[in-house]
Amino acid sequence: MDMALEQYVRKKLREKDILLMTHTVLGYPSLEDSFRIIETMVKAGVDLIELQIPFLEPIADGPVIRHANHAALKQGVCVKDCLDVAEQAARSFDIPFLFMTYYNIPFCFGVSQFVSAMAQRGLVGAIIPDLPVEDGHDYLQAMRDHGLSPIRMFSPTTSDGRMKKISSSAQGFIYCVARKGITGADTIFSHDVALYLKRCRRVSGLPLAVGFGIKDRDHVEFLKGKADIAVIGTRTIREVEEKGVASVGEFIRGLRA
């Protein structure tokens, strides 16, 4: 990727009314399958991909993604393995790839070394859901130094004042959690969600991504005109588990049909 993440998103939004970002846990079901899943998603037309580095206590994730994290770790998948697969993906496909993980991973790896490794391998940003806005100054500085986007998160319970503070340290886009809780549970896409996204739009000038509970075409359609990126995570992992890697492409294409 030769352009900044926000620039890429805004360029793509001139071509599409909403973008799709998918999620996969690296090393699940295997490292080889991870690359096949990524390839299948790209060929199906996704616009960005979030690559999760497995972690023992993924506190924001529901049972499906937790199981994928634990299974990958049980096979011995490590950060270096994830960096290698991410590099292969970033060098092979001309869409943005971001890491998603928990702060213990870059902290133990060495924050500046971790961010440098991301930049060297062609990633464009990272989502770290357990990093409060008050912390992680070394991480934010390293991301700025390397031209990478730290993705920050809003939730429906975040006050306007805190949203402004969060947005001030964000780049690329804002990840708007559609509801309080963990990934994978059902979300009711209702008037309340629409009002919440209006509030997010009013507070931040960055593009808005929405995740947690997006499972089908109707959910994606609901988000058109309210958000810029629909994030599909648990549902794609369940597709792999139930029907195999090839089914992921058909599922993703169906989201735009």
Mind listing the domains of the chain with CATH numbers? 7-94+152-256 (3.20.20.70)
Q: What is the pLDDT of residue 257?
A: 64
**Could you report the average pLDDT of every consecutive run of 10 residues in the chain (257 residues)?**
85 97 96 96 97 88 89 96 98 98 96 98 96 93 97 95 96 88 55 93 97 89 96 91 92 88
Per-residue burial over 189-203, b if 16 or more Cβ lie within 10 Å, else e, is beeebeebbebbbeb
Q: What is the pLDDT of residue 172?
A: 97
The structure tokens 């994730």 sit at 61
Annotated catalytic residues are 50, 61
- pTM here is 0.93
**Residues 6 or more apart from 234 whose CB is under 8 A from it?**
23, 62, 64, 65, 183, 184, 215
Query: Helices (H), strands (E): how many in the chain?
Result: 12, 8
Q: What is the pLDDT of residue 32?
A: 95
CB atoms within 10 A of CB 220: 21
Q: What is the pLDDT of residue 181?
A: 46
Q: What is the pLDDT of residue 60?
A: 76
